[in-house]
Structure 1
Amino acid sequence: MLRSGKVFLLLLLAVVLVGCNQKVEVRTDDAFVSAKKAFELNSKKTNQTVGEIDFYKPPTLRIDKESISQKIVLTKRNDSFYLTVNPNEQKNSQVYYDVLLTDEPDHLIGAQTFSKDDAFGFVAVIQKGEKQVELIANVGGAKVETVTNEANTDAYLEKMMEIARSVQHDDQ
C-alpha cells in the first residue's frame, strides 16, 4: 500500500510539472480558443461606466482612480490592464488589427481574428521577455492590453475579450 502511494505521488508530481512547463505556444492556442468563445458568446453585460464608456469589469479587477474615458486602467495584483476606446470606430473596425499587421512585432507568437454579428475582433500574444508576454484583445475600437507572466495567457485573454466585447459608448 505504501509503495502504490509513492507511485501515485510521483505521477501526480510529474503531471503538475508538465502542466507548469507548458510552452507558451500551447498556452496561446488554449487562450485563443477561450477568447473566441468569449467573443462569440458576447454574454457579459456592462456593469461599469467611466466617462461615456460602459463596459463589463470582472469582479477580480479594480478600476484605477486615474482612469479617463478613453484610457481606462484596471488592475489585478501587480498586473495592469489598459482599456483604450476610440469612440469613432465601430464594432466592425479593423484599424487596430491593421496597425498590428503593419507594425508586426518581431516576437509575435500568434494572432487570431474573429467576426460575428457585424463585429470584428482579434487577440494577439507577443513575447516580451523570457517569461513575459504582451496580450492584446480587441473588438472594433476597444482594445485591452497587458504585459504579464506567460502562465496567465489563457485566463487573461478570455477576461480581456469579455471586456473588449462588452464596451458600449454614446457614438455607437
Structure 2
Amino acid sequence: MKKWLLLTISCISLLGLAGCGKSVEEQINIGVASAQTVFEESPREPNKKIGQIELYLPSGYSIKETDDENNYILSKGKDKYILFVNVNEKEDSQLHYDLLKNNSTKKIVKEQPVELDGAFGFTMVLEHDEGQFELIASSGGVKVSTISNNKHMDNKLVEMMLIARSVEVLY
C-alpha cells in the first residue's frame, strides 16, 4: 500500500514539474486552442448571481461589483480580472474584437476568433510589458481580461472563456 502511495505522489509531482516547464509560446498556443474548444462546448450553468448577471465561476474565484454596472472584478488568489458585460451587445457581437484589431497601439501575439451557431467569440493575447501579457477571452458582449506574467496563461485563458461563455444578463 505504501508503495502505491509513494508511486502516486511521485507521478503527481512529475506531472506538476512538467507543467511548470512550458514555454510562453506553448502556454499561449495551448491556452488559445483550449479556449476555442471551451467556446464550442455548451456554456456552463451559472453558479453565481451578482448585479444584473448570472455566471459560472470556477473554483477559487470570487466576484465583486464596481461603481460601473457593466464592470465586475474577479479574483483568484493574487490574480485580478476585469469582467465587462455590455448588455446592449448580442451573442454575435464582434465589437470587442474589432476595437482590439483596429487599435494600432496593441501588439497582438496570438488571436483566435470563433463563430458557432450565431455566436461570436475570441481569445487574444497581447504584449503588455516586459514579461507580461494581456489575456482576453470574449463571447458576444462579454469580455474577461487580465494582465499576466508568463505563468499558467494556458489555464487562465480556459477559465476566462468558461466565465465569458456562461454570463447571462437578467432583465
TM-score normalized with structure 2 length:
0.83
Residue 37 of structure 1 corresponds to which residue in structure 2? 37
In structure 2, do the counterparts of structure 1 residues 158 and 31 end up closer, same or farther at CA, with 3 Å as the change threshold?
Answer: same
* CA distance in 2: counterparts of 1:19 and 1:59, whole angstroms: 20
Letter in 1 for 2:46: T
* CA distance in 2: counterparts of 1:46 and 1:161, whole angstroms: 14
1:48 and 2:64 correspond: no
In structure 2, do the counterparts of structure 1 residues 72 and 41 end up closer, same or farther at CA, with 3 Å as the change threshold?
Answer: same
Provide the secondary structure at the position in 2 that maps to 1:90.
coil
**Bigger Cα Rg:** 1
1:141 and 2:138 correspond: no
Structure 2 residues without counterparts, runs of 5 or longer: 1-12
Shift of 1:129: 2.5
Moved over 6 A (4+): none
The percent of aligned pairs where both chains have the same amino acid is 36
TM-score normalized with structure 1 length:
0.82
* CA distance in 2: counterparts of 1:65 and 1:148, whole angstroms: 22
Letter in 2 for 1:30: I
Question: Which residues in structure 2 correspond to 1:21-36 (within 5 Å)?
Answer: 21-36=21-36
* CA distance in 1: counterparts of 2:50 and 2:169, whole angstroms: 10
Shift of 1:106: 4.2
Structure 1 residues without counterparts, runs of 5 or longer: 1-11
RMSD: 2.3
